[in-house]
């Protein structure tokens, strides 16, 4: 799959670099859902008054 996008083949089990990449991807994949839930919960905890104040100050939807 990597060679299709121009990245040379990596022997994942023979090099330190390859094993580090594989372990990093596994750790990121494992904790991605948990961290996403924490982030979304924090966003939902922002009071609506803050959004109203930002819109009064002229902030766009993305900046809010």
Residue 27 has pLDDT above 90, yes or no: yes
On whether residue 12 sits in a domain, the answer given is yes
Q: State the pTM of this model.
A: 0.54
Q: Report pLDDT for 29.
A: 93
On whether residue 62 sits in a domain, the answer given is no
Determine the Cα–Cα distance for residues 1 and 15; give it in Å rounded to an integer: 19
Is 24 exposed, middle or buried (CB count within 10 Å of its CB: 0-12, 13-18, 19+)? exposed
- If one counts the domains in the chain, the total is 1
Domain containing 21 equals: 2-52
**Average model confidence (pLDDT) across the chain:** 87
Q: Report pLDDT for 17.
A: 82
Q: Give the list of residues 6+ apart from residue 9 with CB closer than 8 angstroms, or none.
A: 2, 3
On whether residue 16 sits in a domain, the answer given is yes
Q: How far is CA 35 from the centre of its chain?
A: 9
Q: What is the mean pLDDT of residues 38-64?
A: 90
Residue 34 has pLDDT above 90, yes or no: yes
Q: Report pLDDT for 33.
A: 93
On whether residue 58 sits in a domain, the answer given is no
């Amino acid at each position: 799959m990597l060679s299709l996008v121009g990245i040379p083949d990596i022997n994942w089990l023979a090099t330190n670099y390859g094993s580090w990449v594989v372990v990093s991807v596994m750790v990121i994949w494992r904790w991605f859902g948990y961290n996403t839930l924490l982030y979304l919960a924090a966003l939902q905890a922002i009071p609506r008054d803050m959004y109203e104040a930002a819109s009064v100050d002229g902030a766009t939807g993305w900046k809010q």
